[in-house]
Chain A
């Protein structure tokens, strides 16, 4: 148990954070592409 805690010290979930940021970026691009398409139609 103590060994596991020591292993986790200084751990940062870089992969999860990167995945999350990419996912959010894709959502934003999709949302705003539809948004501007519809705004453009008046």
Chain B
């Protein structure tokens, strides 16, 4: 069963119907960057993706009186966006292969084989080098702004779908169901994309912490 609109969603919808400008702009602030990136998965350029996002908001305003709360508000908004973007993409004769959005490494192991003992080891497939204990890193080393820069950089380097899944799930705190709906992907794909994304961000953090311990 689909997650329905929350009480907070319904309140926001009431405010939009009452022409509450601040309510609309706070929603824009929260969703616009992701809407543009999702649109960009279907269309040829950043400029067209921005147009799609703009049209999405017009669609939201024109349709708000018909919103019935059978999905969360953001799921509904991302569906409007995906529909507009798909239409634009088809008109452009453009279809981007799933692999180029999702990354071609979905089946690759999270950790290089060298981290594990080979068949000749005392304990094959067990750690050959233990992961480092992050908790033992001197507290002063963890500069919050630097950590955010490392993580932001690692996310920016991910294939588009991996980046969007980790942003929506771990930066914005969406549920897996909302992410599946927004990106139009299966439960399995959502989990695999999140798995790859978190593994790479973990790796970037581990490299960053190791650098400081040398």
A and B are partners in one complex rather than unrelated chains: no
